[in-house]
Structure 1
Amino acid sequence: MRIFIVSDSIGETGELVAKAALSQFEQVYHKAQIKRFTHIDSLEHIEEIVSLAKLHGALIIYTLVRDDMKQHINLLAEKVNVEIIDLMGPVIKSFEKIIGTQAMQEPGLVRRLDEDYFAKIEAVEFAVKYDDGRDPRGLLQADIVLVGVSRTSKTPLSQYLANKRWKVANVPLVPEVDPPEELFQIDPSKCFGLIINPEKLNSIRRERLKAIGLSDDANYAKIERIQEELKHFDRVVERIGCEVIDVTNRAVEETANIIISKRQEYLRKK
């Protein structure tokens, strides 16, 4: 028994279904010959495949999504008496009826959607792994590096960017701790310093201390301490040579859009 899998993508779905069905026929399962015809994008290809199927007595299973190609292969197969099965058509028609929208008829979308999903998962895992300066080696692998003093939204921003499929690492800057050397080895264009108004940061830190049950007059929230940290921040970002973004009155989404725009612009120019 011969089976031709005809697909405008890679034909994986058709082959899996064919094998699943064949498994119910033990006497032919290991004898059946399955051949994939992938990335079929022209009517001429279809004509050649139907001719081969007629010659070899093959069954055609197809997962084409374009109406013109489906109509063409059905007409040709009927004309030369080749058995043919449309795997996707009935499912798509039912979806169109339920959803009330026409299918896009664009090949290979499921693979692209899957790749997009896994790229997002990988970026989110990366952001978690290299959050808060946990492992400086991540700085060399990151698409974007964020630096800033405590409570400048580095972590929420990292997660937001990760959901846009950017691999992000962030480093907290504290006067008593030397920044990792990797920070000065990266391309400055992928690094962004996050600056904030001292009074605004003072308010944020005081609220944070109260939220965790501590006194809001701790050194962490004192304006003198904040100014010391911001001076240290200035020295570090000047040494890196990176761009600085004021996040004082910006939502995470707004800051992220600025960063994405600048990164995309830089990458286009490369």
Structure 2
Amino acid sequence: MMIVPKFGVGTFRLSGQTVIDSIKTALNVGYRAVDTAQIYGNEAEVGQAISESGVNRNELFVTTKIWTDHYRHAQLIPGLKESLRKLRTDAVDLTLIHWPAPQLGISVEEMMQNLLEAKQQGLTQHIGVSNFNIALTQQAIDAVGKQHIATNQIELSPYLQNLKLADFLQTQQIDVTSYMTLAYGKVLNDPVLTEIAENHQASVAQIALAWALQKGFSVIPSSTRREHLIANLKAQDIQLNEAEMEMIKALERNGREVDPENLAPEWD
């Protein structure tokens, strides 16, 4: 059973009134999952948008991510409490370790134990990881048990399919959350995806999202435009056939968009 909703709205690189408007519009057109992070600097705006939206908090699934300066025991719970204050909620639904940041010298075991403590205190309903490779995910499993790891949120797109890691997570019953599913828009002019989109009278963005959903992944695309937010949601209605899925599989080019030097692991 999936813990993470299949479809959410992301807030990466959105700030101020832009993120408030994006979230309020998303909730208005039917989104019920919102993804943010401490480092995005927009948790307060996300909290404001949710409270002004008129949607009941208990209908929503809110995810945030712990930034590297909050991984240690003395910082994690106070840092998360500050996030909750900004988000105007007593608890979030999901909290992730944002990057493994091996150079920090904090063990995966330590950060996961600290996060589990936050869960035990009722500050977050679920916990998980983001940007972890197979070896680090295994360390997280060893530290707290896979029943406590709801998801690994990773960069995934038709150009970066992360097959080994995604397969590993799915065999462990850990949800895969795909971010950058459109590869910063790079896939939008792809001829193969364009052809498939024409067959379905859909947009290329919808096809890329439909591909990820059909692989069993959750997606969290962001948009500031109402028509795009609505169109993205409709990707859930598109069923790609086996031949189309194979055509997309052939687009793999290890096209990683996000790879911060001091934060990223050795990728599989």
Larger helix proportion of the pair: 1
Fold shared, TM-score > 0.5 on shorter chain: no
Structure with max Cα Rg: 1
Q: Tell me which interval the TM-score lies in, with the shorter structure as reference length.
A: under 0.3
TM-score of the superposed pair, with normalisation by structure 2? 0.26
